[in-house]
A and B are shown apart, each in its own frame.
Chain A
Amino acid sequence: MSQPLTQLEPRPGQGAGGGHAVAHEPVFVGATRTELESLFSKYPTRQACLLPALWMVQRERGWISEPAMAEVAKVLALTTAFVKGVVTFYTMYHTHPVGRHFIQVCTTSPCGLCGAEDTVRALLEATGCRELGATSPDGRFTVIEVECLGACGFPTPILVDDDFIESVTPERVAKILEGYP
């Protein structure tokens, strides 16, 4: 008999990505600004650059704070409320700081049939994250469960940061984590 895997929204962890109280340093200055502006000609509207802009914020800061949303809104001539609505619609944008390494595990049916829940438990144990969505006390990892990663023939796929790793079994977990200090 198992407890259904329930998940918290990723929450602030120790030592990860800064806190809410820190003053916002603008993201879109210098090279990042140039990078964003280089996208403008690829789309007929500025608004279409919203998802790419949010990816840039997350790449630079690790997560997307409210002041960062306000900055994006200003740069793209949108309202902060609209930007927040978009940020919170998509599961891959972090609205809180997360661990140094962010682990996403697929547990949707095809992977579930092949033992994904065991892989989740092994990851939670090995990382010291007590529950899904929480960050480990050392700030190193956050583990979340995600819906279908689109690699169902290679159960269980996980994403560690931007590294897509196939066929992860509980036995492989310790070795994989060694690569993410």
Chain B
Amino acid sequence: MGFPHPSHPRETVVLSKHFGDAGARSYQGWVERGGYAGLRQALGMVPDEVTNAVKESGLRGRGGAGFPTGLKWSFMPKPSGKPHYLVCNADESEPGTFKDREIMRWTPHALIEGCAIASYAIGAHTCYIYIRGEFTEPLRIMEDAVAEAYANGALGPNVLSSGKRIDMVLHRGAGAYICGEETGLMNSLEGKRGNPRIKPPFPAQAGVFGLPTTVNNVETLAAVPHIIVRGAAWYKGLVMGSPKSPGTKLISVCGHVQKPGNYEITLGFPMKDLVFELAGGMRPGRTLKAVIPGGSSVPIMSAAEVENCPTDYENIQANGSMLGSGGMIVMDDSTDMVYQIWRLARFYAHESCAQCTQCREGTAWTTKILERILAGKGKEEDLDLLLDLSEQMTGKTICVLSDSCAAPVVSGIQKFRSEFEAYISKARKPALVAV
């Protein structure tokens, strides 16, 4: 449901069913709402059966990459006596995205249950949940929930009397966007700077502490108990667009809409209806200008591209962007695109870990060029320079942070070029004081 708004009849409410219901936060409350049935059921299956069920469901990673979850689990080596780890990525920090926060705030046991099932499936005895440092409230709620899960035997040496051991450790981040990148997160968890690592080796071979690791997003893991209880076929059948994109997805809608919030849709739901019907559309007298559909790291879509686009991985890609984390930033006709793209570039310049030259220099340089355009000091060749620079920042670095900076810049220039030119030709007044 679109918390803080009541559920809309066109939503498919699975993960968000208990958002706003404080009674669902306690262990007892969660059990009364059907909780821990999935874990109990999974513990009665062979681990590979659990992995296969998730594979068959078609569940894809909800953190941004959309990688098939069951397939990721199946990359884990067979038990060999070496410890395996599950790491839950709760470092939600992609601008526009605020769904994992609500899962942890309202249904902490859904996440714990999903983590426990995944741990069992991949043969991990320890699950680390890495929560971003700024999420003080979700952290407190998760701490209480984990303690309660231990007290009720859902975690610990004998999970639900199965004889299996699963421990869960909450680890607080300390402010770094890059720690949402899985290898940066693993370094951070090890007590290092959160610099991403070169892949391969992939986490399933050598992850956190050099041992086999699976990293999954909060929303991905929270969906797992439902798949176990209601079956892979049920989940796979939740399709409104591409059959390769089944299931429900929490879409965080923010920016210039009347009812910002998290809306849970069956993938493939029309993006236009999501913006105009579920999220209440534009403020009075305003029209839609653009949407960044998957968190700030994906290309900007124009209003025309939004018109007929189903919200799923394949269709958004066909329309030139990506579903990403499902953080939808909506901009109306009052938006200065150049200013907003500059602000995004500044975000990436601030968050670059500075390992790779293309990213360290590229994000800062991009910001500087956009700053001078906004200050009325842009040159005609600046747009070509930005595009050239963006090309050098795409596909050339250890992680995709610099690609993410280039995405809004390139798509912004392609789709809103006249706004840049207006600043450069001085047809438009400077928006920033010269720096």
| Contacting residue for A159 out of B134, B253, B335, B435, CB 8 A | B134
Q: Convert B339-364 into 0s and 1s, putting 1 for each residue whose CB lies closer than 8 angstroms to a CB of A.
A: 01001100100110100000000000
Within 8 A of B (CB), among A86-142: 86, 89-93, 104, 107-110, 112-114
| Contacting residue for B432 out of A3, A44, A49, A54, CB 8 A | A3
Q: B172 contacts A55, CB within 8 Å?
A: yes
| Contacting residue for B260 out of A54, A154, A162, CB 8 A | A154
**Assembly CA distance A62 to B240 (angstroms):** 52
Q: A4 contacts B174, CB within 8 Å?
A: no
**Assembly CA distance A92 to B435 (angstroms):** 27
Q: B174 contacts A153, CB within 8 Å?
A: no
Q: Which of B27-35, B92-100, B378-386 contacts A (4 or more CB under 8 A)?
A: B92-100
Is B327 positioned at the interface, with any CB of A under 8 Å from its CB? yes
Is B109 positioned at the interface, with any CB of A under 8 Å from its CB? no
Is A179 positioned at the interface, with any CB of B under 8 Å from its CB? no
Is B395 positioned at the interface, with any CB of A under 8 Å from its CB? no
| Contacting residue for A152 out of B83, B97, B347, CB 8 A | B97
Q: Which of A13-21, A25-33, A143-151 contacts B (4 or more CB under 8 A)?
A: A143-151
**Assembly CA distance A45 to B191 (angstroms):** 9
Q: A90 contacts B175, CB within 8 Å?
A: yes
Is A175 positioned at the interface, with any CB of B under 8 Å from its CB? no
Q: Which residues of A contact B347 (CB under 8 A)?
A: 108-109, 147-148
Q: B189 contacts A110, CB within 8 Å?
A: no
Q: A110 contacts B329, CB within 8 Å?
A: yes
| Contacting residue for A92 out of B93, B175, B255, B262, CB 8 A | B175
Is A34 positioned at the interface, with any CB of B under 8 Å from its CB? no
**Assembly CA distance A42 to B176 (angstroms):** 23
Q: Which residues of A contact B430 (CB under 8 A)?
A: 1
**Assembly CA distance A153 to B260 (angstroms):** 5
Is A164 positioned at the interface, with any CB of B under 8 Å from its CB? yes
**Assembly CA distance A76 to B431 (angstroms):** 50
**Assembly CA distance A76 to B190 (angstroms):** 12
Within 8 A of A (CB), among B121-138: 132-137
Q: Which residues of B contact A107 (CB under 8 A)?
A: 343
Q: Which residues of A contact B353 (CB under 8 A)?
A: 89
**Assembly CA distance A44 to B190 (angstroms):** 9
Q: Which residues of B contact A45 (CB under 8 A)?
A: 190-191, 209
Within 8 A of B (CB), among A47-83: 47-52, 54-55, 76, 78
Evaluate whether A152 and B193 lie within 8 angstroms (CB atoms) in the complex, with A4-B433, A112-B343 already known.
no
Is A85 positioned at the interface, with any CB of B under 8 Å from its CB? yes
Chain A proximity of B145: nearest CB distance (Å): 17
Q: Convert A149-170 into 0s and 1s, putting 1 for each residue whose CB lies closer than 8 angstroms to a CB of B.
A: 1111111000100111000000
Chain A proximity of B63: nearest CB distance (Å): 13
Q: Which residues of A contact B18 (CB under 8 A)?
A: none
Q: B174 contacts A150, CB within 8 Å?
A: no
Is B310 positioned at the interface, with any CB of A under 8 Å from its CB? no
Q: A150 contacts B97, CB within 8 Å?
A: yes
Q: B252 contacts A152, CB within 8 Å?
A: yes
Is B236 positioned at the interface, with any CB of A under 8 Å from its CB? no
Q: A47 contacts B194, CB within 8 Å?
A: no
**Assembly CA distance A127 to B329 (angstroms):** 31
Q: B371 contacts A148, CB within 8 Å?
A: no
Q: B134 contacts A149, CB within 8 Å?
A: yes
**Assembly CA distance A147 to B178 (angstroms):** 12
Q: B136 contacts A110, CB within 8 Å?
A: no
Q: Which residues of A contact B190 (CB under 8 A)?
A: 45, 47-48
Q: Which residues of B contact A50 (CB under 8 A)?
A: 191-192
Q: B260 contacts A47, CB within 8 Å?
A: no
Tell me which of A3, A55, A113 has the highest count of chain B C-beta atoms within 10 A of its own C-beta: A113
Q: A3 contacts B433, CB within 8 Å?
A: yes
| Contacting residue for A4 out of B132, B331, B435, CB 8 A | B435
Q: Which residues of A contact B136 (CB under 8 A)?
A: 159, 162-164
- Name B331's closest neighbour in chain A (CB-CB): A113
Q: Which residues of A contact B101 (CB under 8 A)?
A: 150-151
Q: B371 contacts A4, CB within 8 Å?
A: yes
Chain B proximity of A107: nearest CB distance (Å): 8
Q: A89 contacts B132, CB within 8 Å?
A: no
Q: Which residues of B contact A78 (CB under 8 A)?
A: 191
Q: Which residues of B contact A55 (CB under 8 A)?
A: 172, 174
Is B171 positioned at the interface, with any CB of A under 8 Å from its CB? yes
**Assembly CA distance A49 to B137 (angstroms):** 22
Chain B proximity of A119: nearest CB distance (Å): 15
Which residues of A does B touch, CB under 8 Å? 1-4, 42-45, 47-52, 54-55, 76, 78, 85-86, 89-93, 104, 107-110, 112-114, 146-155, 159, 162-164
List 19 extra interface pairs beyond A50-B191, A152-B98, CB under 8 A. A1-B429, A2-B432, A3-B432, A45-B191, A48-B209, A49-B191, A51-B173, A90-B173, A90-B176, A93-B175, A108-B296, A109-B96, A147-B350, A150-B132, A152-B254, A152-B255, A154-B260, A164-B135, A164-B136
Which residues of B does A touch, CB under 8 Å? 83, 92-98, 100-101, 132-137, 167, 169, 171-177, 188-194, 209, 252-256, 260-262, 296, 327, 329, 331, 335, 340, 343-344, 347, 350-351, 353, 371, 429-433, 435
18 contacting pairs across A/B (C-beta < 8 A): A1-B429, A42-B167, A47-B192, A48-B189, A50-B191, A89-B353, A90-B175, A91-B176, A109-B96, A109-B344, A113-B329, A148-B93, A149-B134, A150-B134, A152-B96, A152-B329, A154-B98, A164-B135
A-B pairs, top 5 by smallest CB distance, nearest first, are A50-B191, A92-B175, A90-B174, A91-B175, A152-B254
